[in-house]
Amino acid sequence: MHGLGDLHNSFTTLGTQLALPETAVLSIQAPNSLPIPEEAYHWGDDVIFDNSTGGLDSDAGFEKTRALLTGIVDDALVGRCGWRPRGIFFFGYAQGGMAALDFVLSRPGVEFGGVVSVGAGAPAKVEVEGEGGKSSTPVLVCAAEKGSVVSETGEKRLEELFEDAKVVRWKGRKEDGMVQTRDELLPVMEFYGRRLGSVAGVPEGALELIAGRTS
């Protein structure tokens, strides 16, 4: 799931480069277009400006995105393809990561394979719906060591919302962004390896290849 103002194309390439074993990749384009000349999309229900930064606020409500993902997950992947929720993973960058976390939190009692969110925590107002208080879906959030939008408060909030939540701070990074080095990608691959149960089939040198192409 791409970031605010982007397209799905680059994440189609990323999914191929990850080369996870026995895994299909679906790159989704956000449902709402931005009112600008260039083709660009966002996951929020509204276009909201952040007064503190002057830029667009990623936390803009995700009802439309929830409906989109419900159709993809429930109707297509589970209903028609017969996949189990435990075999479905989400990878999102910036607003795409926040939207993925929002969707998982809206599905009480459902354990998905996991969520990797790069440069985004959970929406400020969302809570786990239903009984239990925490989502059972494991979460990995990758963020810059300094200057990240994922604050200490946001990190604690993830721990309150998810039974298994880990935040990795990329050393030396002063702002959030996509993976740039092998060391930054390693926790992501370890997360997938743990949840997939195997790293067999990952091509030798894949970490270096992916890191080089996503920087």
Q: What are the pLDDT digits (tens) for 45-81?
A: 876 656 555 455 677 789 999 999 999 999 999 999 9
The residues, ordered by sequence, that sit 6+ positions from 90 with a Cβ below 8 Å of its Cβ are 1, 100, 103, 104, 112, 114, 115, 116
User: What distance in Å separates the CA atoms of residue 133 and residue 89, rounded to the nearest whole number?
Assistant: 21
Q: Apex CA 111: angle with CA 110 and CA 115, to 5°? A: 120
Tell whether the model's pLDDT for residue 203 goes beyond 90: no
Q: Give the per-residue pLDDT at 38.
A: 84
Q: Apex CA 192: angle with CA 186 and CA 193, to 5°? A: 85
Torsion of CA 105, 111, 116, 120, to 10 degrees: 10
State pLDDT tens for residues 92-135.
Answer: 999 999 999 999 999 988 999 999 999 999 998 776 765 567 99
CATH number of 9-214: 3.40.50.1820
User: What distance in Å separates the CA atoms of residue 195 and residue 89, rounded to the nearest whole number?
Assistant: 9
